[in-house]
Amino acid sequence: GKIMGFKITKLKDKALSDMAGLKEGDIATRVNGERIDSIQKVLDLYHNSKDQEKIDLEIKRGNVIKTLTYYIN
C-alpha cells in the first residue's frame, strides 16, 4: 500500500501534546506542504526544520483535515 502519513499512537507528555494540539490517533500527512510518504521523508523534513522559523503540520483527525502551526524560537 501507499503511505498516506504517520499515525500518532502514544503521547507521553499530555500537557505538551495538549499545548501542541495533537491527539492520539491523529495522522500527520504533510509538513510545510510536503506530503509525508516515507520514513526517509520524515527524517529529511526533521533535519531541514532546524533552519525554519515555523512549521506547518497538516493532520487528519477522523474525517477532518487541520493545519497546526508551530513557531520555532
Q: Is the pLDDT of residue 62 over 90?
A: yes
Q: Is the pLDDT of residue 50 over 80?
A: no
Q: Place 69 in a pLDDT band, splitting at 50, 70 and 90.
A: very high
Give residue 40's identity as a one-letter amino acid code. Answer: Q
Q: What is the pLDDT of residues 17-33, one digit of tens each?
A: 888 889 999 999 999 99
Mean pLDDT of the region 47-53 = 82
Calculate the average pLDDT of the chain. 87
Query: What letter does residue 62 receive in the DSSP assignment?
Result: T
Q: Which helix (H) or strand (E) holds 6?
A: strand 6-7
Q: Which helix (H) or strand (E) holds 16?
A: helix 14-20
d(CA 11, CA 73): 23
Is the Cα torsion angle 5, 65, 53, 17 positive or negative in sign?
Answer: negative
